[in-house]
Structure 1
Amino acid sequence: MQASLFPDQTLSPGSRIKVGCAGWSLPRALWPGFPAAGTHLQRYAARLNAVEINSSFYRPHQEATYARWAASVPDDFRFSVKLPKTITHQRRLADCTGLLDTFLGQVGGLGGRLGCLLVQLPPSLAFDAATVTSFLRALRERHGGPVALEPRHASWFSAPADALLDAWQVGRVLADPVVHEAGRIPGCFAGLVYVRLHGSPRMYYSAYDRAVLDALIIRLELAARSGANVWCLFDNTAEGAAVADALYTLQGLAVR
């Protein structure tokens, strides 16, 4: 394996763990637990230390917009940003260097608060070593930070795919609910653990049982103690469960 593109072995386990939601919307019922003043993002960032920007998948944001977001959060807050669907779903990772340049130029507005890039693939996109190699080479020539990839076709959960992603220091996402048995644990590059929780049994709606979150907290702590950078993002946002789940998890981790 090549030398780490993002070494940070001096960090404490707690500082390696980022917990947040997909977006920074706050349910009204939880407003009393957040500052009353400030933008929605500022209030959110007062309690949580990360957020996943999914809107970038659907539409571009200007570099100045990213810069404004970065300027409104604490120093230790980090953003994960999903790659546009033009790259992952329309071009399907092929011949997209121009699109990568445009996207990375935009998210560059986050500066040091850009924590991770999320590459979510369509369920129909099978693993093809040549295409993936070309894409990751282009991406790594432009971006040296953490990259998490969420494949959804069964062919990605294989030794050749694991080896290729590991070689480019790309972590495979653990997405819940799990579709493929091999996806029950994060995979590939051991330096990055990225967990996306969509709600179960009803995706995007269901809150997680506290026993499930307690077990998750232990797994996140163990991953951080092994030296990995750890991300835990809740996407069960449809009825506001994500914020409560994230707060419970962060409190359990005693990160702040």
Structure 2
Amino acid sequence: MPVIATAAWSIPRTVAAAFPEEGSGLARYAAVFDGVEVNSTFYRRHKASTFERWAEATPDGFRFAVKIPKAITHERAMEDIREPFATFLQDIAALGGKRGPLLCQLPPSLRFDPERFEAAFDTMRDLDQGPLVIEVRHRCWASAQALALLERYSIDRVLADPALVWPASDFRQAPRYVRLHGKPKVYYSSYSDAELAAFSRLLGPESWCVFDNTASGAAIENALAMLGRR
């Protein structure tokens, strides 16, 4: 079954009735959904005890997709990343078997550079063999050379909406990770039933579908509607 999730686990009042009344926000969320995308790791470092607490608060089978810190993707621009990436992996190790994909989101300005990214991906794969997905925002990543490098290192492309680089038609197989940011107003706009149905048809049994239109509370409403389609 695909994992339907949101970015973070905030539960707006409008949908509170769909969740248990008791427990922490995460525990209540995890009673309904099978996974969540942790975005806060992009902005700041968390203690290992935080990840341990999150793992303990969720049922067996629950998974955490974790966003790679911007110190790696944006500030270092994927160069000389061994030390910070190793530290990141050490921090999240407490998730244990509940760790899902690592999300590598690149800034719009970061072009595909074969030497830079071969070195970065080689380092990442030397340190970790778990699922890794990448969301890029510069059109040059649509090149055959970039796709071949991702395939060599078993890094799955993110199908994002709005699709800035890789539209749905580019995926010959079900995308492993779908990130729905909302449109026309990114992070705010809700998806219609017809749009949700279309995205649902794209998902495979191993897919993740993450709603990132969290600014207006639409994410969890859309995720609940998508969950009803499984």
Tell me the TM-score normalized by structure 1: 0.86
CA deviations over 1:12-70 (Å, ceiling 9, x no partner): xx2xx111000000011111110000000000011111111111000001111001101
Which of 227, 241, 254 is residue 218 of structure 2 equivalent to? Answer: 241
Residue 155 of structure 1 corresponds to: 140
| SS of corresponding position for 2:59 | coil
8 Å contact 1:19–1:231 — kept in the other structure? yes
8 Å contact 2:175–2:202 — kept in the other structure? no
Runs of 5+ consecutive residues of structure 2 not aligned to the other structure: none
Measure, in 2, the Cα distance between the counterparts of 1:96 and 1:38.
38
Query: In the TM superposition, what is the alpha-carbon distance from 1:184 to its structure 2 partner?
Result: 3.2
Query: In the TM superposition, what is the alpha-carbon distance from 1:216 to its structure 2 partner?
Result: 1.3
Query: In the TM superposition, what is the alpha-carbon distance from 1:130 to its structure 2 partner?
Result: 1.1
Confirm or deny that 1:100 pairs with 2:77: no
| SS of corresponding position for 2:65 | strand
Confirm or deny that 1:46 pairs with 2:31: yes
CA deviations over 1:157-201 (Å, ceiling 9, x no partner): 110000100111101111111223x4335659x686110001111
One-letter code aligned to 1:24: W
Would the alpha carbon gap of residues 112 and 186 (structure 1) be closer, same or farther in structure 2, given more than 3 Å must change?
A: farther
Residue 89 of structure 1 corresponds to: 74
| SS of corresponding position for 2:207 | strand
Residue 202 of structure 2 corresponds to: 219
| Greater displacement, 110-119 / 136-145 | 136-145
Runs of 5+ consecutive residues of structure 1 not aligned to the other structure: 1-13
Measure, in 1, the Cα distance between the counterparts of 2:169 and 2:183.
17
Counterparts of 1:50-199 in structure 2, within 5 Å, are: 50-180=35-165, 182-185=166-169, 193-199=176-182
8 Å contact 1:115–1:146 — kept in the other structure? yes
Would the alpha carbon gap of residues 121 and 169 (structure 1) be closer, same or farther in structure 2, given more than 3 Å must change?
A: same
Confirm or deny that 1:205 pairs with 2:188: yes
Which of 204, 207, 212 is residue 230 of structure 1 equivalent to? Answer: 207
Would the alpha carbon gap of residues 186 and 116 (structure 1) be closer, same or farther in structure 2, given more than 3 Å must change?
A: farther
| SS of corresponding position for 1:252 | coil
8 Å contact 1:94–1:131 — kept in the other structure? yes
Residue 10 of structure 1 corresponds to: none
- The two structures, once aligned, show a CA RMSD in angstroms of 1.5
8 Å contact 1:173–1:186 — kept in the other structure? no
Measure, in 2, the Cα distance between the counterparts of 1:47 and 1:77.
10
One-letter code aligned to 2:216: E
Would the alpha carbon gap of residues 55 and 252 (structure 1) be closer, same or farther in structure 2, given more than 3 Å must change?
A: same
8 Å contact 2:107–2:137 — kept in the other structure? yes
8 Å contact 1:171–1:187 — kept in the other structure? no
8 Å contact 2:159–2:175 — kept in the other structure? no
Measure, in 2, the Cα distance between the counterparts of 1:116 and 1:177.
21
| 4+ residue segments displaced more than 3 Å | 182-188
Would the alpha carbon gap of residues 234 and 185 (structure 1) be closer, same or farther in structure 2, given more than 3 Å must change?
A: farther
8 Å contact 1:174–1:186 — kept in the other structure? no
- Identity of aligned pairs, percent? 45
Measure, in 2, the Cα distance between the counterparts of 1:34 and 1:219.
27
8 Å contact 2:200–2:226 — kept in the other structure? yes
One-letter code aligned to 2:198: A
